[in-house]
Amino acid sequence: MKATFKILSTALVLLSACGGNPNSGSNSQSAEDRFVDSVVNSLTLKQKIGQLNQVTAGQVEEMEALAASGMMGSILNEANPQNLNRIQKAAVDNPPHIPVLISRDVIHGYKTIFPIPLGQAASFDTALVRQGSEISAVEASSDGIRWTFSPMLDIARDPRWGRIAEGYGEDPYLTSVMGAAAVRGYQGNGNLSKPTSMAACAKHFVGYGAAVGGRDYNSTYIPMRQLRNVYLPPFRAAANEGVATYMSSFNDNDGVPSTGNKLILSDILRGEWKFDGFVVSDWFSIGEMVNHGFADDMKHAAERAINAGLDMDMVANAYKDNLEALISEGKVSEKTVDNACRNIVRIKYRLGLFTNPYISTSQDVKYAPAHLAAAQKSAEESAVLLKNNGVLPFKNFKKILLTGPMSDAPHDQLGTWVFDGEKSHTVTPLVALKDAGYEVNYVPVLTYSRDKNLSNLSKAIAAAKTADVIVFVGGEESILSGEAHCLANLNLQGAQSQLLEALKKTGKPVVSVIMAGRPLTIADDLNNSDAMIYMFHPGTMGGPALVNLLSGNVTPSGKLPVTFPKSVGQVPIYYGQNMTGRPASGHEVLLDDIPAEAGQTSLGCTSYMLDAGFGPLLEFGFGLSYTSFEFSDFNINRTSFSGENDEIKVTFLIKNSGNYDGAEIPQLYVRDLSASITRPIKELKAFTRVFLKKGESKKVELSMPLSSLKFFGLDDKEVLEKGKFTLWIANSSNVDKAAWKCDFEVK
Ligand code: NOJ
C-alpha cells in the first residue's frame, strides 16, 4: 500500500512539474525521463513484465481482473467505451497504477471509412492523408482507443499479395511521404498528448510485402542493400516523423524472423534512427518463431525476441510466462526488461494517459458531416481515370443502366480491415446516382463479385435499349484482399468480364468503375469499356464521389501508386527496377512474330516476355483527366550541385488548357547514370498536386535535397556519390513521354 502511494505521489509531482502536458516546455525531455524512471524503478519485476504484455479482449470481468493484477500493459480488440473505462479503472486503481494502452486496427477510418490506403496513395495528396488519419484518431479516441496499428509501410510490388491494399504501393518515396503524413495525422500533428490523438504504429517491420510468390506470411529474401534502399526508407521516414511504435513483421528475411531480428529491431531502429518508443510483435509472432524453427519452444522464443529488442508481446503470453525464469537463469538481463518497460511507459506518458486515462469526450463525433466530406474528397482524389474515349464526363446522359456486383454493395465498397465502420452508413453508387436525380434502372445481374450466374443477363441487355449509358460497377468484394487473402488469378472474379463483354456488344456507351483492393489484370475489360474509373475500395462515401466524377463536378486526378501488370506472369513488375545490361530497346519480337521452326536466336536481346512485351498494362504514376495540362518554361536552379545540403529546384509553368477545372500531379524522376552499384532506371523524388481552373496557369516548383540522392552502397554505408544524373518532369513514370528532361552533375 505504501509503495502504491509512493509511486502515485512521485508521478503526480513529476506530472505537475511539466504542467500536465508531457510534451510541453524546454525541460520536457528531462521531466519525461524523470517520470518514466520513477515509475519503472518503483515496479517489481512481475509488474514490469506486465507492462510488456498485450492481451486481446475477452469477458469484461476477466479483463478487469487482469488489469487489476497489473498484467495488462495493453489491450486490443475491445472498443466498447464502457468496458474500456471499467478495465482502465481496474488498472489505475490497483498497483502499479499504470494505465492500459488501448489499441485497435484503425486502418483507414474508424466509423467514417476512407478509401483503402492504396487508394489514398493514388491521391498523391499528403494533406488529405494527414487529415484522414486525424479524423480516424478523433473518432477512435472518442471510444477510448489511443493506439492504432497503422500505417502499414510495406513496399508492395506483388498484387497477388492481398495486403497490398493496406499500404501505399510500390514506391519508397511515395510510401515514405504518405506514411509520414498518416503518422502526423494520427499523432495529433505532433502533439501526442492531445486526448483526440492516437499513437501510430509503423508496420510491418520489415520486408513483409516481399513474401515469396505473393503468398502472405511467406519468407522474404531481401538482400541488405535492397532492404536499406527500398524497404527501410518509409520506416525511417516514420521515425523522423516521431512515430510512437513499430510492429515487427511475421516474415523471416533470409532466415531471420523479424520478431527476433536484432539487426533491425535494435541496431538500425534504436542505434541508427534513435527511436525511443516501443516495438510490439505482430499477433503471436513471438510464438510463431517456434513454427519458423527459429526457437525450440515458447520460452526460447521469448528469449530471442526480448534480446533482439522486441518490447511488447502481442497475445502470445510468451513474456508473461517466461521472462522471470529467463532472468533467473541469466539468459535475459533485468536491464533489458527495464528498457522495454521504460519504452512502453514513455509512450503512455506522452499520450497523457497518466493524467487522463479515461475516455475524455462524451460528444459523438462519429460520422460527423465534416468527416464524411473529407472521406468523399479522399474517394474523389483516389479515383484514377484509366480510359476515356470522350464518354466522360456525362453530358446529356440522364437514363442510366446500372449493373455489376459493386453497384450497391455497402459492405464491400468499404474495403479490407473494417471492424467499426457500419455498412448502414455507406452511400453506394446506386443510392448516390438516384439522389443526384439520374433515372437509374438497376439490373444487378451478378450479386457479388465471384458470382458466375448470368441468368439475368438478358434483362440487362433489354434494359440497355432505353438507357443513354451503361454504368458497370464491379471489382472485388472486400474479403478478397487484405491479410491472408492472396490470389493467383487477378482477372475480375466470377462472370464480370463476360458481363462487360455482353454490355459492350449492345453498342451503348459503357463506363466501368472498378472497386478493388489491388491492381487487377483488366486489359480485356478496358477494351470492353468506353471509359474506366479505378476507385480501389473507396469507403463510406464512394457513391457520392463517383457521381461527382461521372457528372464532371469533379475531374479525376488520381495517379496509380502501383504498376498494373498485363497478366500475372509479369509479376513482379515495377517502375523502379534496376538498370539491366540489356535495357528495353523498344524492339519487341512477340509470340506471333516468330516463324515456325525458328532457329536459335536471342530475339530482342532484352529483358521482356514473348507474350507480354516489356511494359506493364499501366505504369506507376499514370492517370487521365477530363481536362488537359501544358507544362512549359522549365528552369533548373543550376546543373551542378555539391554536398548533401544542396538543393535541386525545378520551376515550370502548368496551364490547364482544357475545358474543366482539375488537378494535375507533376512528378520528378531521377536516374543516377553511373554509380558504384547498379541503380534504378528511375526514381520518384518529388511531386506536387496543383489545382487549376480551366484556362488558369501556375508557376510550380519541385525541389529535392541532394541528400535524397544518397543510397546504401557496397559497404552498407550511405553515400552521396559524385557523377551524372538525368532528371525528368513527367505526368507518370513513363519518362519517354516526359514534359522535360535535363542532365545535372553532382560534384
Ligand atoms: C495481424 C496483422 O498482421 C497486423 O497488421 C494487425 O495489426 C494485427 N494482427 C492485430 O490485429
Report the nearest atom of ligand 1 relative to the CA of 150: 7
Top mutation candidate among 161, 164, 203, 218 for ligand 1, by most atoms within 8 Å of CB: 203
At 618, which amino acid appears? L
| Whether residue 129 has pLDDT greater than 50 | yes
Strands 313-314, 697-705: pairing is unpaired
pLDDT band at 20 (very low <50, low <70, confident <90, very high): very low
**What are the φ and ψ backbone dihedral angles of 445, each rounded to 5 degrees?**
60, -70
Q: 648 C-alpha vs ligand 1 centroid, how far in Å? A: 40
Take atom 4 of ligand 1 and give the residue whose Cα is closest. Answer: 282
Q: What is the pLDDT of residues 329-343, one digit of tens each?
A: 999 999 999 999 999
Q: What is the pLDDT of residue 213?
A: 97
Report the nearest atom of ligand 1 relative to the CA of 201: 7
Q: What is the pLDDT of residue 170?
A: 98
Top mutation candidate among 108, 152, 283, 312 for ligand 1, by most atoms within 8 Å of CB: 283
Omega before 195 cis (within 30°)? no
CA 204 to each of CA 126, 222, 478: distance values in angstroms, whole numbers, following the listed order = 21, 15, 21
Q: What is the pLDDT of residue 29?
A: 59
**Cβ–Cβ contacts within 10 Å for residue 272, how many?**
13
Q: What is the pLDDT of residue 606?
A: 84
Angle, CA 741 vertex, CA 735 and CA 745 arms, to 5°: 120
| Whether residue 544 has pLDDT greater than 70 | yes
| Whether residue 22 has pLDDT greater than 50 | no
Q: 283 C-alpha vs ligand 1 centroid, how far in Å? A: 6
pLDDT band at 605 (very low <50, low <70, confident <90, very high): confident
Residue 253 is inside which H or E element, if any?
Answer: strand 252-253
Report the nearest atom of ligand 1 relative to the CA of 249: 3
| Whether residue 14 has pLDDT greater than 70 | no
Q: 514 C-alpha vs ligand 1 centroid, how far in Å? A: 27
| Cα dihedral 490, 493, 499, 502 sign | positive
- Report the alpha-carbon distance of residue 108 to residue 226 in Å, rounded: 28
Top mutation candidate among 103, 105, 106, 249 for ligand 1, by most atoms within 8 Å of CB: 105
Take atom 7 of ligand 1 and give the residue whose Cα is closest. Answer: 149
Q: 115 C-alpha vs ligand 1 centroid, how far in Å? A: 19
Percent of the chain with pLDDT strictly greater than 70: 95
Residue 205 is inside which H or E element, if any?
Answer: strand 201-205
**Residues with Cβ within 8 Å of residue 223, at least 6 apart in sequence:** 254
Q: 281 C-alpha vs ligand 1 centroid, how far in Å? A: 9
257 grid coordinates:
524472423
| Whether residue 165 has pLDDT greater than 60 | yes
| Whether residue 17 has pLDDT greater than 80 | no
Q: What is the pLDDT of residues 425-469, one digit of tens each?
A: 999 999 999 999 999 999 999 999 999 999 999 999 999 999 999
Q: 483 C-alpha vs ligand 1 centroid, how far in Å? A: 8
Buried b (16+ CB within 10 A) or exposed e, 464-492: beebbbbbbbbbbbbbbbbbebbbeebbb
pLDDT band at 362 (very low <50, low <70, confident <90, very high): low
Q: What is the pLDDT of residue 614?
A: 92
Buried b (16+ CB within 10 A) or exposed e, 356-373: ebebeeeeebbbbeebbe
Average pLDDT of the chain?
Answer: 95
Q: 282 C-alpha vs ligand 1 centroid, how far in Å? A: 6
Mean pLDDT of 631-658: 98
pLDDT band at 347 (very low <50, low <70, confident <90, very high): very high
**What are the φ and ψ backbone dihedral angles of 193, each rounded to 5 degrees?**
-75, -10
pLDDT band at 151 (very low <50, low <70, confident <90, very high): very high
Strands 384-388, 711-712: pairing is unpaired
623 grid coordinates:
492517370
212 grid coordinates:
515469396
CB 312 within 8 A of CB 339: no
Angle, CA 547 vertex, CA 541 and CA 553 arms, to 5°: 110
Mean pLDDT of 647-660: 98
- Ranges 360-364, 380-384, 588-592: which has the least confidence: 360-364
pLDDT band at 328 (very low <50, low <70, confident <90, very high): very high
**Residues constituting the chain:** 747
346 grid coordinates:
514513455
- Report the alpha-carbon distance of residue 675 to residue 746 in Å, rounded: 12
Q: 398 C-alpha vs ligand 1 centroid, how far in Å? A: 45
Residues annotated catalytic, as ranges: 282
391-396: long-range contacts at Cβ-Cβ below 8 A with a sequence spacing of 24 or more? 391/469, 391/509, 391/511, 391/530, 391/531, 392/511, 392/531, 392/533, 392/549, 392/550, 392/552, 392/626, 393/549, 393/550, 393/551, 393/552, 393/555, 393/626, 393/660, 394/469, 394/550, 394/551, 394/552, 396/468
Which residue do the cell numbers 457513391 mark?
A: 543
pLDDT band at 587 (very low <50, low <70, confident <90, very high): confident
Take atom 11 of ligand 1 and give the residue whose Cα is closest. Answer: 105
What is the number of alpha carbons within 13 Å of residue 330 lying toward its C-beta? Answer: 0
pLDDT band at 588 (very low <50, low <70, confident <90, very high): confident
Burial (Cβ within 10 Å: 0-12, 13-18, ≥19) of residue 742: middle
Residue 463 is inside which H or E element, if any?
Answer: helix 457-464
Mean pLDDT of 492-513: 98
Top mutation candidate among 216, 483, 485, 486 for ligand 1, by most atoms within 8 Å of CB: 483
pLDDT band at 30 (very low <50, low <70, confident <90, very high): confident
CB 67 within 8 A of CB 91: yes
Strands 531-534, 384-388: pairing is antiparallel
Q: 333 C-alpha vs ligand 1 centroid, how far in Å? A: 29
Mean pLDDT of 233-256: 98
Report the nearest atom of ligand 1 relative to the CA of 314: 10
- DSSP designation for 368: -
pLDDT band at 585 (very low <50, low <70, confident <90, very high): confident
**Cβ–Cβ contacts within 10 Å for residue 659, how many?**
14
Take atom 1 of ligand 1 and give the residue whose Cα is closest. Answer: 283
| Whether residue 132 has pLDDT greater than 70 | yes
- Report the alpha-carbon distance of residue 186 to residue 434 in Å, rounded: 35
Protein residues whose CB sits closer than 6 Å to any atom of ligand 1? 105, 149, 203, 282-283, 483
Q: What is the pLDDT of residue 18?
A: 36
Q: What is the pLDDT of residue 669?
A: 98
pTM over 0.85: yes
- Report the alpha-carbon distance of residue 218 to residue 195 in Å, rounded: 38
Top mutation candidate among 54, 148, 149 for ligand 1, by most atoms within 8 Å of CB: 149
pLDDT band at 311 (very low <50, low <70, confident <90, very high): very high
Q: 366 C-alpha vs ligand 1 centroid, how far in Å? A: 24
Q: What is the pLDDT of residue 601?
A: 81
| Whether residue 3 has pLDDT greater than 50 | no
Q: 291 C-alpha vs ligand 1 centroid, how far in Å? A: 18
In 3-state terms, what secondary structure has residue 698? strand
Mean pLDDT of 481-498: 98
Closest by Cα among 405, 379, 730, 384 to 526: 384
- Report the alpha-carbon distance of residue 173 to residue 179 in Å, rounded: 10
Take atom 3 of ligand 1 and give the residue whose Cα is closest. Answer: 282
